[in-house]
Chain A
Amino acid sequence: MGMTITEKILAAHAGKDSVAPGELIEARVDLVLGNDITAPIAIKEFRELGIDAVFDREAVALIPDHFTPNKDIKSAEQVRILREFAREFGIVHFYDVGRVGVEHALLPELGLTRPGMLIIGADSHTCTYGAMGAFSTGVGSTDMAAAMATGKAWFKVPESIKFVYEGALNPYVNGKDLILHTIGDIGVDGALYKAMEFTGEAVAQLSLEGRLTMANMAIEAGGKNGIFAPDDKTVAYVKSRSSKPYTVYASDPDARYAELREYDVSRIEPLVAYPHLPENVRPARESGIVIDQVVIGSCTNGRIEDLREAAAILKNRKVNGNVRLIIIPATQEIYRRAMEEGLLDIFVAAEAAVSAPTCGPCLGGHMGILAEGERCLATTNRNFVGRMGHPKSEVYLAGPAVAAASAVLGRIAHPDELK
């Protein structure tokens, strides 16, 4: 019986020839990560074990990105826990302000996430690395602590849902719209405990960035992981970032799926998810919701391609007088490229604020908190109650083109309106 890409990676890491959905396995992990919110608990629990080393100093990543540059004294104390632990235990991949970026943008850039790896992270958007053809999933701090000690984690092998995207993409439609459409179709628990396998000619045409955006939001459908089989683009990207080995897996033709869903992407237009769930998806063209703030950034859409898309729309235009536009390049490398390509100049000329890399406003940390009743359109991944500030504020989700056009128009709109 054939296996899916997810089953193959899990089997390889459990030392088995094959695994089947529902099976509980203990598997070797290749990379364990945590951030300034989740790692302090993991570090406390790890220290209570009283052991003197992590399982592999090069396979633990401590990325203080959520409330950095430190927003208050308590946050500074939390980052200090990571910094001191990293020094004491010789953790290779700890990055402080000036080097740090949003974790799920930074680790692929550093070549730490490669095809065939098994990755766990104490951050729900760890599923992002499935875009590289890795099995990657979010866990809590305790799982992170246990894995730092043992190099292992337990998993229930998930059933897989196969998503097939065919057809040609419409203008301004990118990975964000495809994943919002998918979540709108299956709902926020539509893939609960399951693997989401993304396939088809339309996603083959997406860049790695677009695929990272899609895999990133697998968790918003309840998915355990989102995954793409590696292709030439994946291999070229990985080779440009790392000389370390990797393994390319693909699903067998006779692999079993719990469900098959097919989409004709030529029927998908730029979308926006309304409060307070990512499944509340509507066409941006029909919205017209008046907004107070726009945020372009995050582990979902803070990469160079996203900034280019926003800059193409913002060039020679100004942000609407009633809107605050905040742009956050996800890593220092992206920041620098945006500077060299003249994108930052376009943003500042448009009267947007450009910030250092941080998760910041996405989770209501800092750098753009909303007051009562305010509405924000963001390229982030969650629009839950109070996510970006006051419990009575609202967050709408869209891709960078809709976000930039809406910042100019002062209301949520299709970028076509600016033509």
Chain B
Amino acid sequence: MKAKGKAWRFGDDVNTDEIIPARYLNTFDPDELARHCMEDADPDFMKKAKPGDIIVAGKNFGCGSSREHAPIAIKAARISCVIADSYARIFYRNSINIGLPIVESAEAARGISEGDEVEVDFDSGRIVNHTKNAEYAAKPFPPFMQDLIAKGGLMNKVKSELAGKDH
């Protein structure tokens, strides 16, 4: 699986209130949440971002609230991938569980500028910056999480377990 798009840069400690403000949490409709994706970090983000684009951020991306609405909003906004130096743990867990592609790479988070054309190969863990002719390595997922991703997220794994397929 690959993702390719234009990079949108954010800083360190982007929290889930910025990704999807609580004033919109009276719904869990993905399309409605997507309309306000990243609104308190950049009010114009959804006017500028195109389907397939990539969010690039610093350390501790997705800190704060456990709201799964945050990765849901990013996924429904058709952002193809998030690249960050590091992730807050609940956001990381939620993204894996719902199938939002995220990768961890300190060198990519440092090297990519806003507007760069970036391509991520999830199988090889290679991140290519076509604008700068640079290449970065993503931190590989542990085997347990690779399995979770391959099964299509946590609920699909639970479904197959309940059906006895894993036993």
Q: Kindly identify, within residues 267 to 297 of chain A, every residue whose CB is under 8 Å from any CB belonging to chain B.
A: 277
Contact of B90 among A75, A124, A154, A391 (CB under 8 A): A124
Q: Verify B97–A143 contact, CB threshold 8 A.
A: yes
List residues of chain B with CB within 8 A of the CB of A138: 66, 90
Tell whether A85 is near chain B: CB-to-CB under 8 Å.
no
Q: Verify A384–B17 contact, CB threshold 8 A.
A: yes
**When each residue 62-100 of chain A gets 1 if its CB lies under 8 Å from chain B and 0 otherwise, what string results?**
000011000110110010000000000000000000000
**Which stretch from A38-46, A203-211, A237-245 is at the chain B interface?**
A38-46
| Cα separation A49 to B90 with both chains bound (whole Å) | 23
Tell whether B151 is near chain A: CB-to-CB under 8 Å.
no
Tell whether B80 is near chain A: CB-to-CB under 8 Å.
no
Q: Verify A74–B88 contact, CB threshold 8 A.
A: no
| Cα separation A129 to B162 with both chains bound (whole Å) | 30
**Which stretch from A185-193, A328-336, A400-408 is at the chain B interface?**
A185-193
* Closest residue of A by beta carbon distance from B22: A363
**When each residue 121-138 of chain A gets 1 if its CB lies under 8 Å from chain B and 0 otherwise, what string results?**
111101000000000001
Give the total of A residues in contact with B, Cβ under 8 Å.
50
Tell whether B51 is near chain A: CB-to-CB under 8 Å.
no
- Contacts A143-B97, A188-B13 given; indicate if A49 touches B155 (C-beta within 8 A): yes
* Closest residue of B by beta carbon distance from A41: B28
**Which stretch from A102-110, A144-152, A251-259 is at the chain B interface?**
A144-152
**Which stretch from B57-65, B108-116, B118-126, B127-135 is at the chain A interface?**
B57-65
Q: Kindly identify, within residues 21 to 72 of chain A, every residue whose CB is under 8 Å from any CB belonging to chain B.
A: 24, 37-38, 40-41, 44-45, 48-49, 51, 66-67, 71-72
Q: Verify B21–A364 contact, CB threshold 8 A.
A: yes
Tell whether A414 is near chain B: CB-to-CB under 8 Å.
no
| Cα separation A37 to B21 with both chains bound (whole Å) | 12
- Contacts A41-B68, A67-B26, A387-B17 given; indicate if A48 touches B155 (C-beta within 8 A): yes
- Contacts A143-B93, A364-B22 given; indicate if A49 touches B159 (C-beta within 8 A): yes
List residues of chain B with CB within 8 A of the CB of A78: 26-28
Q: Verify A142–B155 contact, CB threshold 8 A.
A: yes
List residues of chain B with CB within 8 A of the CB of A162: none
What are 12 of the A-B contact pairs (CB < 8 Å)?
A49-B158, A142-B68, A142-B153, A150-B162, A188-B60, A188-B63, A189-B59, A192-B88, A364-B22, A365-B22, A384-B15, A385-B17
Residues in chain A within 8 A of chain B (CB atoms): 24, 37-38, 40-41, 44-45, 48-49, 51, 66-67, 71-72, 74-75, 78, 121-124, 126, 138-143, 145-146, 149-150, 154, 188-189, 192-193, 219, 222, 224, 277, 363-365, 382, 384-387, 391
Apart from the given pairs A123-B66, A364-B22, A384-B15, 14 other A-B contacts in the complex at a CB distance below 8 Å? A37-B25, A37-B69, A45-B155, A66-B25, A67-B25, A71-B26, A78-B28, A138-B90, A139-B93, A142-B98, A150-B158, A150-B161, A364-B23, A387-B22
6 tightest A-B CB contacts, nearest first? A140-B94, A74-B26, A140-B68, A189-B60, A142-B97, A124-B66
Residues in chain B within 8 A of chain A (CB atoms): 13, 15, 17-18, 21-23, 25-28, 39-41, 43, 59-60, 63-69, 72, 86, 88-90, 93-94, 97-98, 142, 144, 153-155, 157-159, 161-162
